[in-house]
Structure 1
Amino acid sequence: MDDHRVSPACAVLMARRDPLPKGSPRVPSGSSPPENPATMSKIDADLMTDSISKILAYAEGKEIKIGKDAVKGKKRPFQETIELQITLKNYDPTKDKRFAGTVQLPHGPIRNLKLCVLATAEHAKDVASLADPRVEARTVEELKKLNKNKKLVKKMAKKYHAFLASQSIIKLIPRLLGPGLNRAGKFPTPISATDSVSSMVEEVQRTVKFQMKKVVCLNTPVANVSMNVDQVRANIVASVNLLVSMLKKKWQNVKTIYIKSSMGPPFQIFF
């Protein structure tokens, strides 16, 4: 099981999909801001590359240098994620507008997500053809059996990291399941009749979300330790660009940025 230890400056706030207060700005789902040299110049490129290299080496069980100390890494029996931990400043979540935005990262999947597709018969066949144990389908008939039971819907919401749904089923969800998925921050991503289920699954697996709630720290997975340095760096750049674009005062609202693997030490890349 992942041990999500955090940087000294930041308490963990996992990215969720909870509804936002009325009037809060959103970045369109699936938006992917281009790399902005002016934005990323705030982060030392060499420092970021060195930090990523150490994270990957540590995850391989190699010895790395942290300051003057030599630290022996440890290879885990599971795939660790690489997390971005950001602390904000000059931002009052009780007064300033909250925000949320999603970005499809260049490289994925980020982590092994367990997904559920609320599917038409055709999409259910597509899910079966994937032969992927992480992706399951539930038909309308199966959803009807839940009978809007709050405990059963909550149990289903906890079982999966994210949901997708055939476009024709989206409008039936409130009647079939009530508000349970929405309250859990897991309202399904729609799949149109022309969408490929496999491509939509891949899209969800490389999508991350930032959402400001009641604290000024954000923590979200942006890569995993099986990726190479360039892939991790590209995902970090896309994630940071999205977050900074949503902040009222841009970089003036950013206090610190750390990156770390699930079980490894944090590395500060913005001071």
Structure 2
Amino acid sequence: MSPLPPQPPAATSSTVPRETIDRAVGALLKWHRHHPPPPSDNFIYLILSLKTTPHNGRRRSFRLSLPNPLFSSICIFTNNSGVETQNLNPSPSILSVSDLRSLYSSRDSLASLSASFDLFLADRKIASRLPNLLGDAFYSKKKKRRSKEPVLINLANPAWPNKAREILGSTQLVMEGGHCKGVRVGRVSMERKEIVENVAVAVEAAVRCVPKKWYNIRSIHIKSTESVALPIYNESGEEDEDSEVALEQDKGSKRKVLAKKLKGGVLKTVKRAKR
């Protein structure tokens, strides 16, 4: 895990104006009032479209601090159940290796466990045993499930609660092969202001993790699992139509259609500021 990049102030000028982010978040939340997200994945994602593939395809991970935490429930996998939770908020559930073997031996029970918590942590000492214990419900190659792979921490370190708090207050950006990078920045259930704050901070922090910074950013969007991607930045500086776009799926053909246009125009692109 690479060290945390320096975080920008909570309220600073940005290449992407807050007003642009606020209009996009408002459009997304309005659409979701009529199209509730699945309970298992109500996250909002920041999508970076890059001009070139970073780091020659090598995998690198960064933790980006967020002003408003994304996780409301947490579970910790340990070698034994005698772990003090050290006043963590939210208070975590503790499951030992023996608990996993006795209570969660079937695929259905593991799927239920995976859906029961927002975030999973695990002691490094048992890392090699976890793939066999947890199976595809946690270690599936499908992108929608990979987010449930436990984050490893060292429970033998007396300062482990501080590391856990850092993870709870951040989101993970993975840089590897490909031109599009997604990172969770909010939840549909959060307040609009909280999501806007998270997006504004995450944009600046994520761009600093990209080789060549803003010169390698083609566009930036926000989206949920079920929605169309809403642009908040476009390197070309060209303006989109003055319309707010929502995604509806035709039940018969699963075809994407433009559902509603609103007066005032949401998503005008922003000219890139050379940095």
TMscore range, shorter length: 0.5 to 0.7
Separation in 2 of the partners of 1:157 and 1:189?
23
Q: Structure 2 stretches of 5 or more lacking a match? A: 140-148, 235-275
2:21 pairs with 1:48 = yes
Q: Specify the alignment match of 1:115 in structure 2.
A: 75
Runs of 4+ in 1 over 6 A off after TM superposition: 129-132, 155-158, 178-181
- CA change 1:164–1:216 in 2 (3 A) is same
Amino acid at match of 1:35: P
Q: Structure 1 stretches of 5 or more lacking a match? A: 1-25, 62-72
Shift of 1:250: 0.7
Aligned match of 1:189 in 141, 149, 153? Answer: 153
Amino acid at match of 2:22: T
User: What is the percentage of aligned positions where both structures have the same residue?
Assistant: 19
Aligned length: 213
Shift of 1:37: 7.6
Instruction: Say if 2:79 and 2:125, in contact at 8 Å, map to a contact too.
Output: no
- CA change 1:141–1:95 in 2 (3 A) is closer
Separation in 2 of the partners of 1:97 and 1:36?
31
Amino acid at match of 2:152: P
Instruction: Say if 2:153 and 2:160, in contact at 8 Å, map to a contact too.
Output: no
Instruction: Say if 2:64 and 2:172, in contact at 8 Å, map to a contact too.
Output: yes
Amino acid at match of 1:87: S
Shift of 1:266: 2.4
Q: Specify the alignment match of 2:66 in structure 1.
A: 105
Aligned pairs for 1:230-269 (under 5 A) are 230-269=193-232
- CA change 1:120–1:51 in 2 (3 A) is same
- CA change 1:244–1:179 in 2 (3 A) is farther
TM-score by length of 2: 0.59
Larger RCO (CA under 8 A, 6+ residues apart): 1
Instruction: Say if 1:120 and 1:140, in contact at 8 Å, map to a contact too.
Output: yes
Separation in 2 of the partners of 1:224 and 1:177?
28
Instruction: Say if 1:208 and 1:220, in contact at 8 Å, map to a contact too.
Output: yes
Shift of 1:256: 0.7
Instruction: Say if 1:82 and 1:224, in contact at 8 Å, map to a contact too.
Output: yes
Separation in 1 of the partners of 2:180 and 2:53?
11
Q: Specify the alignment match of 1:92 in structure 2.
A: 53
Shift of 1:203: 4.8
2:94 pairs with 1:137 = yes
- CA change 1:43–1:178 in 2 (3 A) is closer
- CA change 1:76–1:208 in 2 (3 A) is closer
Separation in 1 of the partners of 2:37 and 2:106?
34
Shift of 1:249: 1.0
Q: Specify the alignment match of 1:66 in structure 2.
A: none
Aligned pairs for 1:1-271 (under 5 A) are 27-28=2-3, 33-35=7-9, 41-59=14-32, 61=33, 73-76=34-37, 78=39, 80-89=42-51, 91-93=52-54, 95=56, 98-110=59-71, 115-118=75-78, 120-123=80-83, 126=85, 136-142=93-99, 160=114, 162-165=119-122, 170-171=124-125, 173-174=127-128, 176=129, 184=139, 186-191=150-155, 192-193=157-158, 196=161, 200=164, 203-271=166-234
- CA change 1:158–1:243 in 2 (3 A) is farther
Across the aligned residues of Structure 1 and Structure 2, the Cα RMSD in angstroms comes to: 4.2
